[in-house]
Amino acid sequence: MYEIKKQMDFSAAHHLLNYDGECENQHGHNWIVEAYIRGNELDKSNILVDYKLLKASMKRVLDYLDHSDINELPEFKDISPSSETLAKFIYDKLKEEYPQLYKVSIWETSTSCASYFED
């Protein structure tokens, strides 16, 4: 089994719904996103997925989120845009192009990370 990881970042504002604490107020993060791809087969160049292509796909998804108020995006209407729901959103978008996508992790601070993957 092979695994690759591509890391990128974006900045955006959000606030948590149904939360009692500081995070119910609008605030921002410089999120770091990691996309993990797994597979048993390499292509003719002996690579699992071209990092350049994965980067372009991730950029399309993250550019949509970048410098936005995530709560205002249609996909997050009435949904608390936590790191967990953001990880799933990014996972679902990337999975459309990369069926071998294994996991998406999103870091909201250097010590706090949420991941989404399917069994």
User: So which residues are the catalytic ones?
Assistant: 23, 67, 108
Using DSSP's 3-state secondary structure scheme, residue 21 falls into coil
Write out the H or E segment, with its range, that includes residue 38. Answer: strand 27-39
Pair of tokens at residue 98: 């990369």
Report how far residue 108's alpha carbon sits from residue 48's, in angstroms, rounded to the nearest whole number. 28
CB 6, CB 51: distance < 8 Å = yes
Q: Give just the sign of the alpha carbon dihedral 12, 110, 60, 119.
A: negative
List all residues 6 or more positions away from 46 whose beta carbon is below 8 Å from its beta carbon.
Answer: none
